[in-house]
């Protein structure tokens, strides 16, 4: 039998994807739908959710949810809606993140922007993952969670609210992976490089620093996301961080050497 023929069990697997209206979250949610997995598309923007679902291959498998995940009460409302629609949530993807504005440097970023960035990335991610896990553990069911972190969990981005939120998320992945592992719940990080997906307005000249020679696209992330999420393909993988950056993090800004054949 082909190794890749059954990454998911549509009769049992279900998913909740935050930030599913745009960019990487949208690509992952649509790819899960493509594998027959019933999926909640959660986002703060109603029009984006509607468009993401209608552009997916089987819209009938999608459950829309709209709300602001910076609010803890909204996270609870999302949990109620997701569990009502799906039963247990076996696969959780946390991709929602507020816009990153270059003007929000260390001397400029205001308190509200700082708090919102941490609330959505870290607080919502922790709360949703913990509550989903509690139910899976009680039901003795396996799960797989994926957090979208960043290369800037480890290197500055000139946006201190963003890099510190991502650094905390990277540790949250390790904490949860260690705590939930014995209960069959795997927790991993996907670490995108420069992905021209919506949230990152890339200068095309950045491509010269990328060994694979181009900026990434949201669809470059989805296959790896599904591979790591799949309990059939990645059963022994937890607490790991998968860098998908075309080699950007190898360059440290020196040009690659010209290699004579």
Rule CB under 6 A: which residues touch ligand NAD?
A: 19, 21-25, 43-45, 48, 68-70, 95-98, 120, 148, 150, 192, 194-195, 197-200
CA atoms within 13 A on the CB side of 172: 26
Q: Which residue has the tokens 């998913």?
A: 15
Closer CB to ligand NAD, residue 69 or residue 172? 69
- Nearest 5°: CA angle at 158, between 145 and 97? 30
d(CA 237, CA 73): 32
CB of 101 or CB of 260, closer to ligand NAD: 101
Q: How far is the CB of 141 from ligand NAD (least distance, A)?
A: 26
Min dist CB 202 to ligand NAD, Å, is 7
CB of 233 to ligand NAD, least distance (A): 21
* Closest separation in Å from C-beta 129 to ligand NAD: 14
- Residue 25 CB, shortest distance to ligand NAD, in Å, is 6
Specify the residue, 117 or 141, whose C-beta has the smaller distance to ligand NAD: 117
> 25 vs 32, 106, 259, CA distance in Å?
11, 28, 37
d(CA 177, CA 187): 5
Q: Closest CB to ligand NAD among 11 and 103? A: 103
Structural tokens at position 96: 């929602």
Distances (CA, A) of 202 to 108, 124, 182, 218, 255: 22, 27, 41, 13, 19
Pure H helices in 101-258:
111-118, 125-139, 160-180, 218-229
Smallest gap from Cβ 83 to ligand NAD, in A, equals: 18
Which residue is closest to ligand NAD by CB?
A: 23
> Of 143 and 199, which has the nearer Cβ to ligand NAD?
199
Nearer to ligand NAD, 30 or 95 (CB): 95
Contact at 8 Å (CB) between 206 and 15?
A: no
To ligand NAD, the closest distance from the beta carbon of 208 in angstroms equals 17
Residue 13, helix vs strand vs coil: coil
For the chain, count helices (H), then strands (E).
Answer: 7, 7
Residue placing its CB nearer to ligand NAD in the complex, 136 or 194 = 194
């Amino acid at each position: 039998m082909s190794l890749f023929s059954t990454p998911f069990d549509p009769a049992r697997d279900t998913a909740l994807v935050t930030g599913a209206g745009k960019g990487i979250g949208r690509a992952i949610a649509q790819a899960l739908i493509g594998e027959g997995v019933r999926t909640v598309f959660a986002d703060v923007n109603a029009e984006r959710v509607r468009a993401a679902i209608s552009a997916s291959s089987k819209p009938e498998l999608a459950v829309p949810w709209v709300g602001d995940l910076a609010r803890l009460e909204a996270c609870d409302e999302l949990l109620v809606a997701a569990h009502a629609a799906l039963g247990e949530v076996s696969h959780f993807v946390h991709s929602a993140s507020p816009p990153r504005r270059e003007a929000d440097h260390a001397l400029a970023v205001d308190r509200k922007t700082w708090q919102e960035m941490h609330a959505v990335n870290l607080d919502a991610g922790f709360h949703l993952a913990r509550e989903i896990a509690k139910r899976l553990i009680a039901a003795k069911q396996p799960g797989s969670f994926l957090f979208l972190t960043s290369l800037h969990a480890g290197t500055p981005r000139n946006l201190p609210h963003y890099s510190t939120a991502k650094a905390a998320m990277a540790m949250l992945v390790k904490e949860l992976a260690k705590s939930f592992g014995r209960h069959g719940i795997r927790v991993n990080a996907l670490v995108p490089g420069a992905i021209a997906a919506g949230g990152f307005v890339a200068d095309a000249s950045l491509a010269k620093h990328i060994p694979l020679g181009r900026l990434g696209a949201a669809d470059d992330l989805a296959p790896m996301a599904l591979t790591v999420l799949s309990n059939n393909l990645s059963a022994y993988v937890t607490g790991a961080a998968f860098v998908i950056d075309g080699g950007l993090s190898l360059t440290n800004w020196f040009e690659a050497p010209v290699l004579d054949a």
